[in-house]
Structure 1
Amino acid sequence: MSGYSKKYLPLIIGAACAFGVFIGASLDFSDSSEGLFTANAKKEKLNRLIDYIDYEYVDNVNTDSIVDVTVNSILEDLDPHSTYIPKQKYDALAENMKGDFVGIGISFYTLNDTIAVIKPLANGPSEKVGIKAGDRILYADGIELAQKTINTDSLSSLLKGKINTTVNLKIKRNGSEKLLDFKVKRGTIPIKSVDAAYMLNKKLGYIKVNRFAESTYKEFETAIESLIAQGAKELALDLRDNGGGYLDQAVKIADEFLSDKKLIVFTKNKSGEIKKTFATKKGRFENSKVFVLINENSASASEIVAGALQDNDVGTIVGRRSYGKGLVQREMNLGDGSAVRLTVARYYTPTGRSIQKPYDHGNNKEYFEEYLSRYSNGELQSRDSISVNDSLRYETPGGKVVYGGGGIIPDVFVAKDTDYEKESLNYMLKGGVMDRFIFNILEKDRNYFNNITQEEFNESELVTDKTLQNYIDYLKEFNFDFRTKNYRYLLKKYLRATMAEQLFGTNAAQRIIGEDDKMIQKLLALD
């Protein structure tokens, strides 16, 4: 196989992990900065230097960029998770964690210089006025949206806007000679953090959470109610690849499994002040069997949930050692639209262990690439290869031995599949190439696919061996020569999952992907 070279896979994995933890660094703490900043010599020194450069330096210099570099340099000497957010990135990051935005409610991408609708979101503004998958949006309020004439930021500003404002769209639809006019009233569009919720068997429900955003617990509640209505008596909570998010959302979810007054987490700041958070009386799965799935990319708030249950002898943690982020950040506005997420405390699981992995040199490359060492030392294949520090040994009330100092070690270990051929398929699934290929298939008969039910989809073989071969040929356009015969069945399944996602959403796709999931198979064997 070419294209996905073995030597680049670890770098891709490391980069993905670092990004996940960056997202996971935003924990929910409010703060007023008034009173923190008083005149002092160090502050005046920096101000004076910037003024000298602004007014006296021989050349024109962008001092904003100098300040950005200075702030980043300061933070790099602190810890790996104190982060500077430039003002040009702040809104996008805030929106991602907010849980919703105002827009017209479509998923789309640019295709042949037009805006192609992959799917209008269920019950969203676009679906309500009749926009369908496959439609091409050519104009918004009279402005041409061709890729060559408008950039992504401008496009977003045209389709997004204030709540209840309208945008007039002109759309090209297959089978219609004339452009169609639609007047869409912008509404609140959720950014989902619950990817899937379905029954694994008659009594075990499954929920996959991709991050802890503002709306996560509300989504989680809706998922639980649906599963209980389907007969769920037990629950599997999938936190794999969940880099974290808001602390309060993680606490509320942990509370669903813990009885009243059980300690969930506590934090300690530089002055030694301790803040403890306890479970409440509510909790729909307090006396039920529960499984939590974690892996090497589960970080921060995900580790809080796993650690709270493990230390209270509740449920079974399944998977591989989690990332190891036990630092608490508080977001602080810097006054010009930028912000800093500064580490203000450490958090501890109920037994008193810190799961923060060591960092000796602040925000350095070695810290984030520690993930890669797990490949070389064998711990992704064997629990016995996980290094523990006996000085950080703790016991739960039930006598279970747990360790601090570097992530949550699962109760039941499941090895990572490190077959490079198979792993490359996972990256392909997430990389967008399958999306374009499947979109083109759906385009050939939009009338049929826009009206197919999920039951009809499940009973039909819409991805055939011929489809698979066409995809392999399609990959050659990207200089990717897919030669393996061992995983053709899996590639075919992923193509089917991609089709399900475009037609019915992530829940349908995750159900198909989960059929060959080692961790899900393991917890079903444990149930």
Structure 2
Amino acid sequence: MGGYQKKYLPIFFAIAIAIGIFIGSKLNYSSNTTSLLGGNAKKEKLNRLIDYIDYEYVDAINTDSIVDVTVNSILENLDPHSVYIPPSELERVNESMKGDFVGIGVSFYNYNDSITVSYPIAGGPSEKAGIKGGDRIIAANNKPLTGVNLIDDSITSQLKGKINTLIDLKVKRPGVKNILDFKVKRSTVALKSVDAAYMLTDTLGYVKINRFAESTPVEFKSALSSLKRKGATQIVLDLRDNPGGYISAAEQVADQFLEDDKLILFTKNKTGKIEKAFASDEGIFQSGQVYVLINENSASASEIVAGALQDNDRGEIVGRRSFGKGLVQREMELGDGSAVRLTIARYYTPTGRSIQRPYGEGNQAYYEDYLSRYKNGEMQSIDSISVADSLRYVTPKGKIVYGGGGIIPDIFVSKDTNYEKEAINYALRTGFMNRFVFELLEKNRPYYNKLTYKQFTEEVSITDSDILAFVQYTGKRDLKIRVRDYKEDLKRYIKAVFAQQLFGNTIFEKLINEEDPAIQKIKALSREK
């Protein structure tokens, strides 16, 4: 699997951590470049250099880009999680963390030179107006939206707008002869952070959180309440591949499981100031077994929740050692539409553990350590995890836990690192499979859009020819997949993505989890309780 790891895992890792680097609150500065850099000789030095380049350098130079490079270089020498966000990225990043945006609420692809709806976002204005998967949006407010020069960013800017404003859409629907007209009122569209909530057994509920956004606590409490009404006395909280988010959201999720006045975490800044966060008496699942699923991509806020429950002897942590990010960032605006997310403190679990991995050897070594876990065997055996006695801690009930780099699970579940399985998982989680399935749906969209879920399960099957087509599809996009031992897994995954695009995320997670080793392990454990 070595070649696959080197080429694709760092990409997946970088994407995940870019999402999960931000824990904390916002601190806004309204300042221009001069006031930001001015004030003492060292700062003035940077100002003068930029001015010299701007006015005297022999070639025309975009000094804005020089400033961006300078800021990035400074931050790279601090820690791996202090980052610069340029103006072009800030709105998108903040929308994801806020948990909503104003628009018409569709997921779309630029397909055959037109905007083709993959699916309308559940509860959004387009779904309410009657837009369906497969619809081609050919014009918005009489402005054509077709042609080879379509750019996703410009499309998005035209479909977004001020809240409660109307947009006139002309739509070509497969199987319908006439052009359809829709008036859609732009409104707030939720970006769900709770992917799924359903019952695994009569008493075991399951919730998956994909990130910790502002909206996560409300989403999670609603999901938890629903599962309790359905009879859940035990809960699986799936935080695998969750890169983190807001510290306050993590605290509120952990609070649902902890009794009043239990310590959730504490933070310490450069002056030694300590701030503690305690649970309230408002948790709705303070009794009953809890299983928290984590893996090597569970980071930051995910580790806060796992560490809080583990250190308070509340439930069991299942899976593999988490990423190991124990730094707190705060967003600070730079006055030109950009921002930095700067590390301002470290956080510690209730027993006093810091779970931050060392980063003193630089960012490259920090990220390579992530890959070294594959090489040292810790994905297959918990005994391969290196721990230091000096970082040994004890929970109130006597459980031994360790700091120094991630949350080590109570119950270990090995990772299948076979190249074939890893490549299939990569295709599933990074969009290859979504686009392939979308194109399959487009071959007979009127039929698929009429299916109920029961009809879907009975009538739709993934064939060997579909598998061959997928292998060829990914091969043309530089992802080489072999299908030998995992053909049935691949068929199940493709069918799950079919269901996701037709019926939503909960059905997708149900199908993916059917043969999941960690889920099967928890089901067995739950029967013993």
TM category, shorter: over 0.9
Deviates more, 1:451-460 or 1:194-203: 451-460
Instruction: Note if contact 1:262-1:278 (Cα within 8 Å) is conserved in structure 2.
Output: yes
Amino acid at match of 2:230: Q
Q: Which moved more, 1:276-285 or 1:477-486?
A: 477-486
What does residue 136 of structure 1 align with? Answer: 136
Matched with 1:52 is: 52
Greater shift in the superposed pair: 395-404 or 485-494: 485-494
Measured against aligned partners, the alpha-carbon deviations of 1:138-166 in whole angstroms (never above 9, x if no partner) come to: 11122222251331211010111111111
In the TM superposition, what is the alpha-carbon distance from 1:278 to its structure 2 partner? 0.2
Q: CA deviation at 1:407?
A: 0.5
- Paired residue for 2:292? 292
TM superposition score normalised by structure 2: 0.94
Asked if 1:506 corresponds to 2:502, the answer is: no
Conserved? CA contact 1:119–1:502, under 8 Å: yes
SS of corresponding position for 1:119:
strand
1:71-110 matches, within 5 Å, as: 71-110=71-110
Instruction: Provide, for residues 440-497 of structure 1, a one-character-per-residue CA deviation record: whole Å limited to 9, x for no partner.
Output: 4433443332232223323444334554455456566657776533211111111110
Per the alignment, residue 240 of structure 1 pairs with: 240
Partner of residue 27, structure 2? 31
Three-state SS of the structure 2 residue aligned to 1:23 is helix
Alignment of structure 1 residues 384-463 onto 2, 5 Å:
384-463=383-462
In 2, the alpha carbon distance for the partners of 1:234 and 1:510 equals: 18
SS in 1 for 2:455: helix
Match of 1:17 in 2: 13
Letter in 2 for 1:26: F
- Normalising by structure 1, we get a TM-score of 0.94
Q: Is the 8 A contact 1:303 1:408 kept in 2?
A: yes
CA separation of 1:64/1:500 partners in 2, compared to 1, >3 Å: closer, same or farther? same
Q: Which residue of 2 aligns with 1:494?
A: 493
SS in 2 for 1:65: helix
Output the CA distance in 2 between the equivalents of 1:136 and 1:34: 42
- Kindly provide the amino acid, as one letter, of the partner of residue 136 in structure 2: R
Match of 1:271 in 2: 271
Which deviates more from structure 2 when the two are superposed, residues 170-179 or residues 90-99?
Answer: 170-179
Equivalent AA in structure 1 for residue 328 of structure 2 = V
Quote the Cα distance in structure 2 between the aligned partners of 1:274 and 1:295: 29
Q: Which amino acid aligns with 1:518?
A: P
Q: Superposition pairs for residues 131-280 of structure 1, below 5 Å?
A: 131-280=131-280
SS at match of 2:27: coil
Q: Deviations over 1:283-302 (max 9, x none)?
A: 12111100000001111000
Tell me how far apart the structure 1 counterparts of residues 27 and 479 of structure 2 sit (CA, whole Å). 50
1:143 partner amino acid: K
Corresponding residue SS for 1:369:
helix
- State yes or no: 1:114 paired with 2:117: no
Partner of 2:517: 518
User: Matched residue of 2:253: which SS?
Assistant: helix
CA contact (8 A) 1:377 1:385 kept: yes
SS at match of 1:516: coil
Contact persistence 2:424–2:481 (CA under 8 A): no
Gap change, CA 1:402 and 1:477, over 3 Å in 2:
closer
Paired amino acid for 1:516: E
Distance 2:46 2:477 in 1: 50
Q: Which runs of 5+ in 2 are unaligned?
A: none
Q: Please give the secondary structure, in 1, of the residue aligned with 2:195.
A: strand
Report the AA paired with residue 71 of structure 1: V
Moved more, 91-100 or 126-135: 126-135
Query: What amino acid is aligned across from residue 21 of structure 2 in structure 1?
Result: A
Matched pairs, number: 522
Shift in Å, 1:237: 0.3
- Residues 77, 361 of structure 1: 8 Å contact kept: no
- For residues 322-337 of structure 1, the aligned pairs below 5 Å read 322-337=322-337
Q: 3-state DSSP class of the match of 2:276?
A: strand
CA distance in 2, matches of 1:132, 1:360: 51
In 2 relative to 1, CA 41–222 (structure 1 residues): closer, same or farther, beyond 3 Å? same
Structure 2 Cα separation of the partners of residues 474 and 87 of structure 1 = 35
C-alpha spacing 1:321/1:396, structure 2 compared with 1 (3 Å): same
Q: How far apart, in 1, do the equivalents of 2:119 and 2:60 lie?
A: 48
Task: Name stretches of at least 5 consecutive residues in structure 1 with no aligned partner.
Answer: none
Does the aligned pair in 2 maintain the 1:110–1:147 contact within 8 Å? no
Residue 60 of structure 1 and its aligned partner are, at CA, apart by 2.2
1:483, 1:56 → 2: CA distance?
A: 57
Q: Distance in 2 between matches of 1:474 and 1:73?
A: 39
Q: What is the RMSD computed on CA atoms of the aligned residues? A: 2.0
Distance 1:374 1:321 in 2: 10
